[in-house]
């Protein structure tokens, strides 16, 4: 029994040290979950894929077992550390007629910013605890990030299918460490969406099911402007709400985002010219300007040709 308590005390101590370091690195919320196969989530993912709700994101069909079992990603995994990093920026584009960009893409690509911080956290864990095996993940591997965030108590998955924290809303990047170190786990929290349907009612493409909690990815404006490489279907004419990259509608209308606070990450600040550009300048966007404005931005994912396609579709389909 004495060994049992000593082990528990060690897990508690290590958990505290890891969370303290993560907060020091700028993460706002850190939750811990046991690394195990996600059977319930696997059934939901399989149903979603079978219904074709992923559109042309064929990569979602790959590595199914890795998505639902962290031990397939890190041998001997015991713990998933889920971390949230705030990106909320209440600044808006000066020209109300200009095509809109999701605020998560205002600054430097979050993949690089967060991956650097995660690597620093993992190095710290190895330095103070020992030869820990683990990997860092930031939206770039087959990991069900929102589900792990939910399991670890970092929020609940709302009717808009985004993670929501009751004290801070949903403007967060999600990141994970999967490690072979046993830590104290946190339990999931209650769902506080209640009878609210604002996100469902506000979605112009009806991507969210009438009951909520289910997203038809093939109808989501973020999918249409980022993931879809073909021409945007004519059926979405007049329904894009002038979004050229991503979409924030279901977050803007969410009552929980009244608690969202502006981030303090310098690397997420927009290029000085980004918010000043007028509608005409976007319509006449050149490749040189694109490369300058979005030099280190997540917008690079669409490439210049993709963003021009989106802008042209919006200018032609305005009603």
Do β-strands 100-101 and 243-245 pair in parallel, antiparallel, or remain unpaired?
A: parallel
Confidence at residue 48, expressed as pLDDT on a 0 to 100 scale: 79
Confidence at residue 115, expressed as pLDDT on a 0 to 100 scale: 97
Confidence at residue 152, expressed as pLDDT on a 0 to 100 scale: 98
Do β-strands 156-157 and 100-101 pair in parallel, antiparallel, or remain unpaired?
A: unpaired
Confidence at residue 49, expressed as pLDDT on a 0 to 100 scale: 78
Confidence at residue 65, expressed as pLDDT on a 0 to 100 scale: 85
Element (H, E) at 101: strand 100-101
Token pair, residue 30, equals 């850190």
Each residue's pLDDT tens digit in the chain (319 positions)? 334 445 558 999 999 999 999 999 999 999 999 999 998 887 888 887 788 776 777 667 677 888 889 999 999 999 999 999 999 999 999 999 999 999 999 999 999 999 999 999 999 999 999 999 999 999 878 899 999 999 999 999 999 999 999 999 999 999 999 999 999 999 999 999 999 999 999 999 999 999 999 999 999 999 999 999 999 999 999 999 999 999 999 999 999 999 999 999 999 999 999 999 999 999 999 999 999 999 999 999 999 999 999 999 998 855 4
Confidence at residue 58, expressed as pLDDT on a 0 to 100 scale: 67
DSSP per-residue letters across 13-27: HHHHHHHHHHHHTT-
Token pair, residue 212, equals 């909520």
Pair 27, 124: CB distance under 8 Å: no
Domain ranges of the chain: 2-89+104-179, 198-260+269-317
Of the candidates 7, 39, 95, 139, the residue annotated as catalytic is 139
Helices (H), 97-197: 110-128, 145-151
Would you state the torsion angle of the CA atoms of residues 216, 217, 219, 223, taken in this order, to the nearest 10 degrees? 170
Question: Is 139 known to be catalytic?
Answer: yes
Q: Count each helix (H run) and each strand (E run) in the chain, helices first.
A: 11, 8
Q: Using CA atoms, how far apart are residues 80 and 78, in angstroms rounded to an integer?
A: 7
Would you state the torsion angle of the CA atoms of residues 244, 26, 183, 2, taken in this order, to the nearest 10 degrees? -170
Do β-strands 134-137 and 100-101 pair in parallel, antiparallel, or remain unpaired?
A: unpaired
Q: Nearest Cα to 80, choosing from 131, 30, 124?
A: 30
Strand, helix or coil at 191?
Answer: coil
Measured N-to-C along each axis, helices 2-24 and 110-128 cross at an angle, to the nearest 10 degrees, of: 140
Q: Using CA atoms, how far apart are residues 179 and 196, in angstroms rounded to an integer?
A: 37
Do β-strands 172-179 and 134-137 pair in parallel, antiparallel, or remain unpaired?
A: antiparallel
Phi, psi of 80 (to 5 degrees): -115, 120
């Amino acid at each position: 029994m004495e060994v049992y308590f000593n082990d528990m005390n060690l897990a508690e101590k290590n958990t505290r040290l890891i969370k303290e370091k993560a907060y020091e690195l700028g993460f706002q919320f850190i939750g811990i979950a046991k690394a195990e196969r996600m059977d319930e989530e696997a059934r939901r993912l399989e149903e979603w894929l079978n219904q074709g709700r992923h559109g042309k994101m064929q990569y979602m069909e790959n590595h199914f077992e890795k998505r639902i079992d962290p031990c397939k990603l890190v041998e001997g995994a015991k713990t998933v550390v889920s971390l949230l990093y705030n990106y909320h920026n209440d600044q808006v584009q000066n020209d109300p007629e200009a095509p809109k960009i999701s605020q998560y893409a205002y600054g430097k690509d979050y993949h690089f910013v967060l991956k650097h911080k995660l690597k620093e956290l993992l190095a710290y864990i190895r330095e103070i605890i020992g030869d820990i095996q683990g990997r860092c993940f930031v939206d770039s591997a087959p990991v069900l990030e929102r589900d792990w965030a939910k399991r670890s108590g970092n929020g609940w998955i709302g009717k808009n299918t985004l993670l929501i924290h009751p004290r801070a809303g949903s403007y967060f990047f999600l990141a994970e460490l999967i490690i072979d170190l046993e830590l104290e786990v946190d339990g999931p929290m209650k769902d506080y969406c209640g009878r609210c349907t604002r996100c469902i009612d506000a979605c112009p493409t009806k991507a969210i099911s009438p009951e909520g909690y289910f997203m038809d990815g093939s109808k989501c404006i973020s999918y249409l402007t980022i993931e879809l490489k073909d021409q945007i279907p004519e059926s979405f004419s007049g329904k894009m709400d002038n979004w050229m990259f991503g979409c924030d509608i279901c977050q803007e209308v969410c009552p929980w985002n009244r608690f969202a606070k502006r981030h303090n990450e310098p690397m997420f600040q927009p290029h000085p010219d980004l918010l000043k550009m007028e509608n005409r300048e976007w319509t006449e966007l050149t490749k040189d300007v694109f490369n300058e404005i979005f030099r280190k931005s997540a917008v690079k994912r669409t490439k210049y040709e993709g963003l021009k396609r989106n802008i042209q579709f919006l200018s032609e389909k305005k009603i």
